[in-house]
Amino acid sequence: QIPSLQETYKSDFVIGTALNASQIEEKEPNAARLVPQQFGAITPENIMKAEVIHPEWNRYNFDLADKLVAYGQKHHLPINAHTLIWHSQLPPFMRSMKDADSVRKFFTDHITTIASRYDGKVYSWDVVNEALEEDGSLRKSIFLEKLGEDYIIDAFRLAQKAAPNTKLYYNDYNIEQPQKRAGAIALIKKLKAAGVRIDGVGIQGHWRAYNVPLRDIEQSIQEFSALGVEVMFTELDLGVLPNPWDGNSADVNQKAAYNAGMNPYAAGLPDSMQAKLTKGYEDLFRLFVKYSDQISRVTFWGVNDGQSWLNDWPIQGRTNYPLLFDRQFKPKPAFYKVIEVK
């Protein structure tokens, strides 16, 4: 029996994972065994997104979301629901909607219906996801365009009304970066000034193993917690492959391999990169432990490398190794390091 992440860190913060349909239906024996043993909270990776739960005008499909709730109850795993308002993974009828009244109707109905149905059944909602640009301004989206810049306040207000017993969070990536962080801080202050409840902020945490922005992360923990909201890391994974837009901080060899359109680690992860992954997680968890009073949760974006979205993003069909369990569900050196750090 391997040590448990959740048990090891239970006095510090909750450790969660993202799950998909096959896992909550317990069709994967390895995941079925590992999830309750290793994790203390779950996030639906896709099944509560609008395109799944609200596929057509006036038609919701709660099948998978209800299964998720039942799975969580069975295993005593609180659910961090994801997500009500997001520009991506919208149902097809929404993507082309032209008229503002219809967008407003979708928006109000969507939030109210889903948030009220699961109030008392989920622990929290990412009410709004990824609403900021890199420079901290509001991100261009159908919601901003048709509803105006107060749509985020409106979303939280509707969620608060529909789900009085559910924690309400703002979630985004790169909000540890100074400019975008400033935008997130301004947004949280704006919500508070409007008298709207916001309980926490989720920093997604999709970083590169060889380039974890520790100083920015530390600064963010301090600045966000000073606002009196919960701070969480909600979608943690440390990719070993660069993104095309990674600058000179990216590993030079990796960048070259990427530009050549290659998949350099298809046959396995070399020891040197395995070591970088382990070091990345070590540094990060040392920081998390240092700020455990300010951090309420750390959720991994998937159980094991085989599940990770980073095999298909930003380009499809690569072989990435961003999580603590490998494709055979075996704990990696990074797993044992994370246990050791505590």
The reply on whether position 28 binds ligand XIL by CB under 6 A is no
Q: How crowded is residue 305: how many other Cβ atoms within 10 Å of its Cβ?
A: 23
Nearer to ligand XIL, 274 or 302 (CB): 302
- Between CA 14 and CA 6 the distance in angstroms is 6
Query: Which residues 299-328 are close enough to bind ligand XIL by CB under 6 A?
Result: 309
Asked whether position 141 contacts ligand XIL by CB under 6 A, the answer is no
129 contacts ligand XIL (rule: CB under 6 A): yes
* Three-class HEC string of 52-95: HHCCECCECCCHHHHHHHHHHHHHCCCEEEEEEECCCCCCHHHH
Decide: is 199 part of the binding site for ligand XIL (CB under 6 A): no
Instruction: Find the shortest distance in angstroms from Cβ 293 to ligand XIL.
Output: 26
User: How far is C-alpha 327 from the geometric centre of its chain's CA atoms?
Assistant: 21
Instruction: Determine the Cα–Cα distance for residues 41 and 313; give it in Å rounded to an integer.
Output: 25
Residue 327 DSSP one-character state: T
Kindly tell me the burial class for residue 277, based on how many C-beta atoms sit within 10 Å of its own C-beta (0-12, 13-18, 19 or more): buried
- Give the Cα-Cα-Cα angle 339, 176, 16 (nearest 5 degrees): 35
Binding status of residue 45 toward ligand XIL by CB under 6 A: yes
Which 214-243 residues touch ligand XIL, going by CB under 6 A?
235
Lay out the site mask for ligand XIL across 264-303 (x = CB under 6 A, - = otherwise).
Answer: ----------------------------------------
Does 176 sit near ligand XIL (CB under 6 A)?
no
Asked if residue 139 binds ligand XIL (CB under 6 A), the reply is no
Contacts with ligand XIL by CB under 6 A: the residue count is 6
Active-site positions read: 235
- Closest-approach residue to ligand XIL (CB): 309
State the first-to-last Cα distance of the chain, in angstroms, to the nearest integer.
18
Interacting residues toward ligand XIL by CB under 6 A: 45-46, 129, 204, 235, 309
